[in-house]
Amino acid sequence: MNNQSGIQIEQLVLKRLAEHALREIDRENYELSIALVDAETIKEMNKTYRGIDRPTDVLSFNLEDEHEDHFFGDVIISPEVADNNAKESGVDLLGEIKTLLVHGILHLKGHDHKKPSEAEMMEKRQDEILLSFDELIS
């Protein structure tokens, strides 16, 4: 995990959550890169890779097909953007980042939320993974 965001985050919790989520989606022997970046960096990445010139909270890059060494992909999260989302939603920052991490991992697995039915299925799976993780660590 690489934290370039300047915001202190409980990285061990995120590492354990990532390991749990990978097990839950049958990718437990795969590697995953997680980077925490500032809003400007994720804005540039969003512009470069998606053509959208604004910051976003999470980006995922699936690299599973490009690597033979079981590398699943990259999840890039902006704690700065996540903090704004958390404040609007009335949740804590770590909880928001945990949700974004699982969300990003599900995108790597092929889940999407363009259609309402896809969004519902993705959110349900996301909630299941987060709940089972919380039960595991409590």
Count of the separate structural domains present in the chain = 1
User: What residue has token string 């987060």?
Assistant: 130
Residue among 102, 96, 115 nearest 25 (CA): 102
CATH classification at residue 60: 3.40.390.30
Residue-wise pLDDT for 74-87, tens only, equals 999 999 999 999 99
User: What's the domain range around 108?
Assistant: 2-137
- What's the CA angle centered on 117, arms 119 and 107, to 5 degrees? 35
pTM, rounded to two decimals: 0.92
**Average pLDDT value for residue range 61-81:** 85
Residue-averaged pLDDT of the chain: 92
